[in-house]
Each structure stands twice: as C-alpha cells, then as structure tokens.
Amino acid sequence: MPVDLRKKVRRAAQPSIPRRGEYRLLLASRLVRSFAMSIVTVVLPLLVAERGLRPTAAGLVFAAASVGGAVILLSAGFLGDRYGRRPVLFAIAALAAIGTAGFGLSSNYGLLILFAFVGALARGGVAGSGGAWGPFAPVEQPLIAEVVPRSARGAVFARMSMLGVLAGAAGSLVAALPDALRGLGISPTAGAALTMLLAGAGQLAAGLLVLPVREAPPAPPARAEGRRLSPEARDAVYKLSLTNALNGFGAGFLGPFLTYWLHVRFGVGAAALATLFTVTNLVTALPYLGAARLANRIGSIPTILWTRLVGAAFTALLPFAPTFLWAGIVYVLRMVFQMAANPVRQSLVLDLVAPEERGRLSSASSLPSQVTVSISPYIGGWLMESLGLLGLPLELAAAFQAANSILFARFFRRTGDPAGAQTD
C-alpha cells in the first residue's frame, strides 16, 4: 500500500477530536493514574500482610478505603457540576497522593485506616481496569465527554482504557520493587513503603496534568443544585443504584482481597504478584477495542451482559485452582471478559441524561456501590478468619456480579444505543 494511502486510511480510522491537545492531557493523566493505581493494587495488601494484620483487621482497612471512596464519590459529582470538574479532579488526586504516601510510611493501625480512608486506596485500580474507575469517575468522564465529540466518544473511551491497561502493566512491574530492593539489604516493608511513595507521586502528577484542560463554566446554582433531577435522570439513578449496589457488594469480596488471598493461599510475594498483574494488564488491553466492535455488531447491552457473565463464571472457578499458576490463568481469563465491555457501558450511561446532569447521575448512582463495597470486605475477612473459608468470598463475588449484569441488561435493554445496534 502506498505511503500516502496508508496515511489516509490511518486518519480515517482515527476519530476526529478538535481539542486534541486537551484530550492528550486527559489521556496522559489517565495513564499516570493507572500506573500509580496498579502499584497500590499489589503493594497495599502486601503491606497489610507484612504488618501482621489478620483477615478481619485487613478487611477493616479495605472497608475504610471503600468508605472514603464513597464520601469522595458522592461529593465529586455534585461539586464538579457546581464548581467545575477540573479542580475537583485535582483535589481527588491530591488526596490520593496523601493517602498513598501516608499508608506507605505508617505502621500504626489507626493511621493505616485513616490514610486508606483519605486516599480511597485500592479503589479503581484493579488489574485490567485501565484506571477508569474510582471516586474520580464522576468528574473525569463528563470532562472527557466535554472535550471529545459524541461521535468519537466510544472509540476514545476504548482507546483510553486500552492504553491505561498498558500503563497499568508498567505499574505492576514496578510493584515488584520491594523484592528487588531486598537484594540490596532493604526489608520488604521498607521497600514497599518506598514503592508506595512513588505511587503517591504518580497520583499527584495525574492531578496536575488536568489543570490546563478548559471546560465550560458550571451551570448556575438554580439549575445545577436548586432543582431536582429530571425525570429521566431520576429513573436512571434508581436503576443504576440497584445494579451498582449488587456489583459493589461483589467487588468488596474480591478487590484488594484477591491479592491478599493469593498471598495467603499460595505464599507468593511481590515479584510473583507483580508478574501476574502485568500479564493481566497486557492481555486485557486488546479486548477493549474488540468489545467496541462487538457492540457495533450486536448492541451494547448484549456485549455488556455476556462478557461480564463469562467473567463471573471464571471468578467462581478461582477457589478451585490447585496452584498459583492455574489461579493466575483463571484470573487473567476472568479479567479479559469482565473488563472488556467497560468503555461500552461508560458510553451508554453518559447518554442517559443531559450533559449538565452527568456528574450528579454518576455520584448518586454510584453511592450504593460504595456503601455495599464498604460492608463486604469486613464480611469477607470474617469468613476467611472465623470459618476458615478462604474461597467463599470469591464465590460470593461471582454471584453478585452475575446478578448485576443480568439486572443491568433487564433495566436498559430498550435504551438508545450509542453503538448504533439494536438491543432488544
């Protein structure tokens, strides 16, 4: 193919984004955040284990992170709609940096809970997520929607998720640093603390990158806060709240507990876990783009439903893995299906309401998941410690996330599909 023709084909395949410079800043912010979050995903549970916390005490730390995420998430959407998404996104990044660095440096149990709460740690950084989820989502996603035209939004969400996963793979590699530093005579706990400081610096950098992005002036108070949500938005909030509550309850049984479970069950350390999460991030990068194409063929709702049901099935198989290798294979397959359709879901949900209601919709509908995800880690820790049922939390995670997928499809099967396919 001639060079000029190849260039034309490449330009045709790329979505048209007039504000490309600002889009690149948002993309860079996502990549740096995904890098930092992937470090925290591996190192934080290991720090908890290194400091001798039993499963129930560990569950309280993870629950504190979820409660902090709930408080920040509830505030973020409303504050973003009222005062602007850019400053709120920076403030969340600064809190995450403080919490991450503080958690790495502290050995006091009370301070560990405090820093986990302040930074909403281990929320939104699961391998394969590409840094797309967490308490910052109610402000980041509407800001992206403002910078990127609707016609390009689905492709942009998929591309950002794919590149975010690759950045997460790099972060997962860095998470092996505590084991590498051990060869220099540095203890695993001190190495983990240094690695958490690096992750905290990444969180702060992600916030700084969004400051130059322009956004439209916030709506007047009477429009943004003084009036109730539109009937369409209220209906969306009710439906998303229920489905998200189920998903959050399941996620609390998995989330940071997966790393803890792998460490306790198979005795693996930072290097092995970092390798697993690196492979997971790399393998889950390409399915993001494939899911967008699948949604164009069969519709967004079927794509979301079936990929996530298969992911839940692999989650249910995890406790039966006889070795760390087999557990890793099952987990990678789980993440390929579980995460692939996330950009499709993001694009669909953004179209449920008017632009000025997107932040409040995201905050209000996501709050139930933050509440339920704050409860289940403690229950999971209790099941592990008191009943000796190490695998039961993973089975519960699979059940609740499957229920979430089925109910989401039931509620939104007749929704207008931004992918362009019929869904009913």
* pLDDT single digits (tens) 131-164: 555 677 778 888 888 887 776 776 777 788 778 8
pLDDT digits (tens, 9 = 90+) for 231-246: 777 888 888 888 888 8
Question: Which has the higher per-residue pLDDT, 225 or 338?
Answer: 338
The answer to whether residue 152 sits within a structural domain is: yes
CATH number of the domain enclosing 177: 1.20.1250.20
Q: What is the pLDDT of residues 332-370, one digit of tens each?
A: 898 888 877 777 787 777 777 777 777 677 767 776 776
Range(s) of the domain holding residue 327:
19-214+231-412
CA pair distance 388, 55, nearest whole angstrom: 10
* pLDDT computed for residue 310 by the predictor: 92
Where do we find the tokens 């704050």? Answer: 374
The total of other beta-carbon atoms located within 10 Å of residue 285's CB is 22
Does residue 420 form part of some domain? Answer: no
Give, in order, the Cα–Cα distances in Å from 171 to each of 146, 180, 346, 359, 384.
29, 15, 24, 29, 29
Burial of 68 (0-12, 13-18, 19+ CB in 10 A): buried
More confident residue, 155 or 209: 209
Q: Per-residue pLDDT for 52 more than 60?
A: yes
Q: Does residue 419 belong to any structural domain of this protein?
A: no
Look at residue 64 and tell me if it is in a domain.
yes
Asked if residue 179 is part of any domain, the answer here is yes
What total number of domains does the chain contain? 1
Tell me what pLDDT residue 277 has: 81
Instruction: Kindly report, residue by residue over 259-282, the tens digit of the pLDDT.
Output: 778 887 888 877 788 888 888 877
Residue 187 located in a structural domain: yes
- Please, what is the average pLDDT of the chain? 78
